[in-house]
Structure 1
Amino acid sequence: MVGATVFSAAIVAAAQVVFATPVARPGYSLKDSHNVPRGWTKVARAPADHVLDLQIGLKQSNFDELEKQLYEVSDPASAKYGQHLSADEVEELVKPTKETSDLVHQWLGDHGIVPESYSAARDWITVSLPIGEIEKLLGTEYHVFEHKDGSKVARAPEWSLPNHLHAHIDTIQPTNSFFRARKQASQAFVDTGIFSDPSLKSLKQYPTNSDIGAVCNTSSVTPQCFETLYKTKGYKLRATSKNKVAFTNYLGEHPIRTDGELFLEKFRPEAVSVARTFPQLTLADGPGDEPLSGSESKEANLDFQAIAGINPKTPIISYSTGGSPPFIPSKSTPDNSNEPYLVWVNWLLAQKSIPQVISTSYADDEQTVPVSYARRVCQQFAQVGARGTSLLFASGDSGVGSYGDCVSNDGNNTDKFLPEFPPSCPYVTAVGATKNFEPEVVAYRPAFVGPDGVAHGNYTSGGGFSNIFDIPKYQKKEVTSYVKNLGGEYDGWYNKKGRAYPDIASQGLYFAYFWNGTEGVISGTSASTPLTSGILGLVNDALLASGKPSLGFLNPWLYSVGYKGLNDIIEGSAVGCGVDGFPAVKGWDPVTGLGTPDFPKLVKLAGGKL
């Protein structure tokens, strides 16, 4: 269920005869290059008249200071803890210098290019240009590349800039990024009572704890189970006017209100009206309240229902961002084929008030993203965290990597585990998945073929070590200790000095949910992530009701204090790449992080009152 801009056969044919001729530019040199990832094949030259929305990332003036202040307001040992920055304060720290802005605008003006729009801090410029003009501007060539799933994009694996601009522009896209937002949910939807996964017979367990046993079984895990397991049951909200929880949608996804009503009628009948009234905001021509037209919106339904099931009374917001895909490119309509996180996060940063928790259940292999671009998108996430928002991303559903795909993208095809981005960004909180109840263990479901003949691959809570970002200070002790205790196992398969994830976990196997008017189950870290977001929304409610600020960027607090309010997971491993993968152990591990929530303990540790 991955996505990219779809080129029609006519456009591909045109590309074979309409060649843009790049012009060698004096004073230019290579700015960035990125190997074409596995699974992509060059098809033809891109048509010169095809229009792209080009996003230019200008050097931020003082990101180091922003990062310093992010950690100060997020570290409970700091005197500035909880003193989150305003939108204006963040923009002041990252806006480009006058020199950078003037030089880039002069360069664009020399080519007769007028910017279409700017980000709030003016650190991103968007221009709409035909590919032929972009090729001249960047001294490159665009080709149409086809993925093994049939989708196509126009990309340039390397591009250049005038030498004097190298220090003033970090990245420009779409050029060499093949990153695509992939849903982190197992699409194993099944009708009520028709469980096609043969492992369910062994998984159907009823806990001996009477409270948990009364509401939990592994074949269909409900909100009543979650609230009992994580001890949120009976909490009375007191700060709903000050608090919000949001989730993002991509790839044409949007939550279906009628399905949300059915879910709440069964599990939260007192909150049915929430499904009818929660705002669905659309960005970049994203979908809104359209009726279901195909197999889409399983992910979006899951995200809404997972949050509303555990925390229906805190206001919920849905963001649906268009772009890539679905999009049919044409000469007159710009191709918005960037990965959509940048479009969404730049829009978010332009708002003066933003939700306290935002859940995202999409990611892709880190090695599909150029380093320069990954760093800049990650820096946008840091701005959100500095403003007091917890950004949660699903850690992935393939353990250490999908079997058969675990090789490097450096041209040497070296055996490698495959970390994912954005969960590998050090400024977000990555969420892994668990299953069972006494005790909870790593979420894992072996591959199987359903009665309809459809094959379902292994599903395992994802985790790993970034090849782009270094270990952040907040987790250095835990990660260093874990690597040491591995005793050399998997040496060479991962970066021992990389940012490691996930940071936290919660249930992620066989969630009860509704889609297309029918109750079924669905699995994935994209279930764990909105569930965890809903629970953290309750923690924020307790904090705000006590006159304290929201949690904000979670990780420094989690690793120094918050871990005491988590249930440690010590059984299972991040199965993937044909091996068992990283094991869960006592303390932090790169498959369930620091553990699953114990709500009352988290509230107490954060300084709130129940």
Structure 2
Amino acid sequence: MKLGVNFLALCALLSLSGSSLAAPSSATSGQVIKAPKIPSSWRHVGSARGSTPFSFTLHLNSANLAGLASRLDQNGAIALSEAEVAAYASPTNATLATVQSYLKAQGIADSAISYNNFKDQITVKSTVAQASKLFSASLASYSNPDGTVLPRTTSYTIPAQISSSVSLVQPLASFFQITTGPGKGNLTTAATKRFELEERAATAPPDCVANRVTPTCLRELYGTNTYTPTGGANTDILVAGFIGQSFSQADLTLYLQQFRPDAATYVMPVIEAKNAVNDPANPGDEATLDVQTVVAQTYPLKSVYYNYGTATDNGGDIFEAAFTDIINNYQAYGSPGVYSVSYGSDEAGFGATEAQVLCNSAMKLTAMGTTIVFSSGDNGVNGQGTNNGDSCPPFVPTYPSGCQYILSVGATVNFAPEVAVTAATAGYYGGGGFSNVFARPTFQNTAVSQYKTVLGTKDAGDYSTTGRGYPDISAQGYAYLITENGNNYRISGTSASCPTVASIFSLLNDARRAKGQKNLGWAHPFLYRTPTGLTDVTSGGSYGCADATLGFPAAKRWDPSSGLGTPYFPNLRTALGI
């Protein structure tokens, strides 16, 4: 299979012609879509009542996604208007009319139908019985990991009348599961004294102490402490919150008073979407870490907490749904320059068509000028653990790090030098490896080829030799201090490194704005072309199988444990000419 952006273009063209990566198309019988591997935490609990309300979304084939991919590939960082992206993403009039006519013929009222901004997604309010009939599906009741019972099927058919217009229907066969990082440990008074007395490395920044990472340390380590942001009217960084995660403004204020006093007056705006409610009385580790890290690194830039969905929300791929929601409300959400997401899943839980739909949505959002940053995971080459029963070898890629429009972030520990986290040094392995779904993009060809020369035949057969490699970049991911319910804790994981990298890119956007430039947006081609703004990480690695020798060691240049290395803000500015 041909690699790089041409693969994405091919996927888009196949989609336009009615084909799909999930199953072969048939002009007479329709398009059969089967569920991927179902996590063992989802349990079949019986039949589903036909009268149960059930909404589904049809993903229509866009007019020219291959053209949008080509434009990004040729120009790198661009910031198109909504209308410009719509010209590529919207379906043709004929495609839209075909689907609308079919729905009408099936007795679905216009009042039950809604559209996204580009009209490439049609959501229908229906029932289990009607959806089962429309898509020849046997919808049954499944209990998800939170105990919520939802209608799902292991197979459905997109009818022949619309199979050339629709690539996917969600959440019929979607068994989505999401995870966060390792969690926090209590930081006692005695431990605080012990940590402060630990010996610092000779060349480490003066405020960087082992096992106790503060905002001041991060700013010194990555060179942002001498930069004064100016900010603007738009949202500099949108911080994602899923599965019912909330943060406390009181905790944020107390944290800033301790570790970034000049920012202590900052009040974090909150966007609540799809029934989400931020509950400050019940803050979560993930939300607390993300919000406190971002504000302490970017003040006075405008950071916003974007709370999407609920703890029991399993209505399909929530990552893709959030992309679509941000696109639909791009101006209302402040045209975010960076979108930071410290959550993940396992790639094995998604069919190729479903994964490509997400990556297409990421491409649209990126084309509008938003840099999308995701954590790479905390179980090394053994995925995120969301598909219980997966074990390595073979290696289990995380999701959605394989999409080339997502900046995947690994984790490091220590300061002089930084090393990729391992179970021995940080208690976990940062996610790393190669996608089984997404082919290697052209901007990564040289970097991956160089690493494969170093790797040789090690672990041959345990990973895709043609897949997109991740992470792209890394940062400190161990022993961050946070304040939750008035107490200080330590927390580790790529959930920590992700908002740190996202913060640095929001500061780069601020520096670009001061020069009259647009947001960086799709940063990958620049980073791989000009890695001089990054500090290479050559020790540690991404492992995690029962056989501890299996996995990817860090090496010179890019590797699938630390990526291209850690960011150094002054050098990145120089490389960008700002």
Question: Considering the TM-score relative to the shorter chain, is it more than 0.5?
Answer: yes
Shift of the alpha carbon at 1:458?
4.9
- Cα deviations across residues 126-184 of structure 1 (Å, max 9, x unaligned)? 1121111110010011222345775654321110022232221011111112222211x
Residue 535 of structure 2, aligned match among 567, 575, 591 = 567
How many residue pairs are counted as aligned between the two chains? 543
Greater CA drift, 45-54 or 584-593: 45-54
Asked whether the 8 Å contact 1:243–1:356 carries over to 2, the reply is yes
What does residue 11 of structure 2 align with? none
- Secondary structure, counterpart of 2:220 in structure 1: helix
- 1:450 corresponds in structure 2 to none
Give the aligned partner of residue 72 of structure 1.
Answer: 74
Q: Report if aligned partners of 2:39, 2:175 keep a CA contact under 8 Å in 1.
A: no
For structure 1, which segment, 162-171 or 222-231, has the greater mean C-alpha deviation from structure 2 after superposition?
A: 162-171
1:600 to 567, 570, 574: 570
Cα deviation, residue 342, structure 1: 2.7
Give 2:500's aligned residue: 531
Distance 1:167 1:150 in 2: 37
Give the Å deviation of 1:32. Answer: 0.8
Task: Tell whether the 8 Å contact from 2:79 to 2:519 is kept in structure 1 after alignment.
Answer: no
Give me the CA root mean square deviation. 2.5
Paired letter, 1:58:
L
For the pair 1:345 / 2:328, whether they are aligned, the reply is no
What code does the residue aligned with 1:319 have?
A: Y
User: By how many angstroms is 1:405 displaced?
Assistant: 8.5
Which of 342, 354, 369 does residue 373 from structure 1 map onto?
A: 354
- Comparing 525-534 and 141-150, the one that deviates more: 141-150
Specify whether residues 548 and 321 from structure 1 end up closer, same or farther in structure 2 by C-alpha distance, changes over 3 A only.
Answer: same
Instruction: Work out whether 1:431 is the aligned partner of 2:409.
Output: yes
Question: Which residue pairs with 2:364 in the alignment?
Answer: 383
CA contact (8 A) 2:36 2:348 kept: no
Aligned to 1:59: 61
Q: Secondary structure at the match of 1:431?
A: strand
Look up the match of 1:322: 309
Aligned-residue sequence identity (percent) comes to: 31
Question: Which one is further off, 483-492 or 360-369?
Answer: 483-492
Asked if structure 2 preserves the Cα contact closer than 8 Å seen for 1:509 and 1:522, the reply is yes
- The partner residue of 2:286 within 285, 299, 312 is 299
Question: In the alignment, is the contact (CA less than 8 A) between 2:542 and 2:561 conserved in 1?
Answer: yes
Q: Does the residue aligned with 1:64 lie in a helix, a strand or coil?
A: helix
Deviation at 1:403, TM superposition (A): 9.8
Judged with a 3 Å threshold, the aligned counterparts in structure 2 of structure 1 residues 252 and 408 are, in CA distance, closer, same or farther, namely closer
Residue among 511, 518, 524 paired with 1:542: 511
Structure 2 residue 547 is the aligned partner of structure 1 residue 553? no
Provide the rounded CA distance (Å) in 1 between the counterparts of 2:384 and 2:362.
Answer: 30
Distance 1:283 1:208, change over 3 A: same
Question: Is the Cα–Cα contact under 8 Å of residues 571 and 583 in structure 1 kept in the other structure?
Answer: yes
Confirm or deny that 1:283 pairs with 2:273: yes
Match of 1:48 in 2: 50
C-alpha distance in 1 between matches for 2:190 and 2:245: 26
Residues 356, 537 of structure 1: 8 Å contact kept: yes
Q: Which amino acid aligns with 1:133?
A: Q
Which residue, out of 246, 249, 256, partners 1:257? 249
Give the structure-1-normalised TM-score: 0.84
How many Å separate the matches in 2 of 1:478 and 1:206? 33
1:291 alignment partner AA: P
Counterparts of residues 101-180 of structure 1 (less than 5 Å) = 101-113=96-108, 114=110, 115-146=112-143, 152-180=149-177
Q: Cα offset for 1:506? A: 0.4
Counterpart code for 2:553 = P
Deviations 1:435-491 (A, max 9, x none): 1001100123459xxxxxxxxx95211111111110000101111221232111111
Question: 2: CA distance between counterparts of 1:408 and 1:465?
Answer: 20
Q: Is the 8 A contact 1:509 1:524 kept in 2?
A: yes
2:188 aligned partner: 192
In 2, are the aligned partners of 1:250 and 1:320 still within 8 Å (CA)?
A: yes
C-alpha offsets along residues 545-598 of structure 1, whole Å, 9 cap, x if unaligned? 11222211110110001x111010000111212234111000000111000011
> What is the CA–CA distance in structure 1 between the aligned matches of 2:154 and 2:387, rounded to whole Å?
21
Distance 1:159 1:302 in 2: 40
Give the distance between the partners of 2:337 and 2:467, measured in 1 at CA.
28
Farther off after superposition, 430-439 or 28-37: 28-37
> Secondary structure, in 3 states, of the residue corresponding to 2:344?
strand
Which residue in the other structure is 1:6 paired with? none
Gaps of 5+ in 2: 1-26
Question: What is the one-letter code of the residue matched to 2:312?
Answer: P
The normalised TM-score by structure 2 is 0.89
Tell me, yes or no, if the aligned pair for 1:434 and 1:509 is still in contact at 8 Å: yes
Q: Does the Cα contact within 8 Å between 1:403 and 1:577 map onto a contact in 2?
A: no
How far 1:51 moved relative to its partner? 1.7
Contact 1:281-1:319 within 8 A present in 2 as well: yes
- In the alignment, does 2:210 pair up with 1:208? no
Aligned counterpart, 1:31: 32
- Matching residue of 1:495: 464
- Contact 2:114–2:124 (CA<8 Å) still a contact in 1? yes
Q: 2:88 aligns with which of 82, 93, 112?
A: 93
| Counterpart amino acid of residue 296 in structure 2 | G
